């Protein structure tokens, strides 16, 4: 996987599969300390302790017909390659949180990729799920909370073409600081 956004898609897709109603994606850049932090938290079905341990191994998946699950081990591998850290905590019935740090100056850190399109695909592709995206880059902050957007839409679906246009423009204008 050559972009961090692909990891974000994959981990958030796991949350959707786990029937999460709310998903938080938080990306924090702290250049002074050479840190890039990624947090993905959901309120899905969660995992018991043994499963939460096993999923960090590539040879585990609960997907039917799939013997090898790669989403989590790949992210863990990328984090550790850069000298960063990986933490997964989960509880049955409560949800799952993945917290990863990367050394932002490590030569093997993949590029972030297109975070704007990643947000759009997740929001528009999962209209029933609520997302909070929290981006922070050296003191500049941006938050998109789909609950707030939906409240303004007054019943118009969040994947309506005009809403997608609006969101695209909104993200273009407000996330500038986060696109390197």
Ligand X SMILES: Nc1ncnc2c1ncn2[C@@H]1O[C@H](COP(=O)(O)OP(=O)(O)OP(=O)(O)O)[C@@H](O)[C@H]1O
* Chain residues in the site for ligand X (CB under 6 A): 10, 14-15, 18, 42, 44-47, 55, 60-63, 66, 69-73, 96
CB of 69 to ligand X, least distance (A): 2
Q: What are phi and psi of 140, to 5 degrees?
A: -90, 130
Residue 136 token pair:
């922070």
| Residue 14 engages Mg ion in binding (rule: CB under 5 A) | yes
Residue 43 interacting partner from Mg ion, ligand X, none (CB closer than 5 to 8 Å by kind): none
- Nearer to ligand X among residue 46 and residue 84 (C-beta): 46
Coil, helix or strand at residue 120: helix
Of 44 and 71, which CB lies nearer to Mg ion in the complex structure? 71
Q: Closest approach of Cβ 78 to ligand X, in Å?
A: 13
83 contact, one of ligand X, Mg ion, none, CB 5-8 Å limit per kind: none
Residues 63-82, mask of contacts with Mg ion (x by CB under 5 A)? --------x-----------
Under 8 Å between Cβ of 11 and 40? yes
Cα-based angle 103, 106, 109 (whole degrees, multiple of 5): 85
Contact at 8 Å (CB) between 43 and 94? yes
CA pair distance 71, 175, nearest whole angstrom: 26
Contacts of residue 140, Cβ cutoff 8 Å, sequence gap at least 6? 177, 178
User: What are the Cα distances from residue 43, in Å, to 14, 78, 110?
Assistant: 12, 25, 28
Q: Using the rule CB under 5 A, give the single segment among 7-15, 38-46, 124-132, 167-175 that binds Mg ion.
A: 7-15
Identify whether the C-beta of residue 127 lies closer than 8 Å to the C-beta of residue 168: no
Q: Looking at beta carbons only, is 10 or 145 nearer to ligand X?
A: 10
Answer with the entry of Mg ion, ligand X, none that 136 interacts with (C-beta below 5 to 8 A by kind): none
Instruction: Give the binding site for Mg ion (CB under 5 A).
Output: 14, 71
């Amino acid at each position: 996987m050559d972009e961090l956004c692909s990891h974000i898609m994959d981990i958030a897709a796991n949350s959707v599969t786990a029937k999460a109603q709310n998903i938080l994606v938080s990306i924090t850049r702290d250049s002074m300390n050479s840190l890039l932090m990624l947090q993905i938290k959901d309120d899905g079905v969660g995992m018991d302790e043994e499963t939460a341990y096993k999923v960090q191994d590539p040879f585990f998946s609960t997907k039917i017909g799939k013997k090898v699950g790669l989403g989590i081990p790949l992210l863990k591998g990328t984090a550790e390659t850069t000298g960063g850290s990986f933490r997964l905590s989960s509880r049955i019935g409560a949800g799952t949180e993945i917290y990863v740090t990367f050394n932002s100056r490590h030569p093997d850190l993949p590029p972030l990729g297109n975070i704007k399109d990643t947000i759009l695909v997740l929001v528009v592709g999962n209209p029933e799920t609520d997302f909070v995206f929290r981006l922070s880059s050296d003191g500049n902050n941006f938050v998109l909370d789909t609950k707030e957007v939906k409240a303004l839409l007054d019943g118009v679906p969040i994947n309506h073409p005009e809403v997608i246009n609006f969101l695209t423009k909104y993200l273009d204008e407000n996330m500038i600081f986060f696109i390197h």
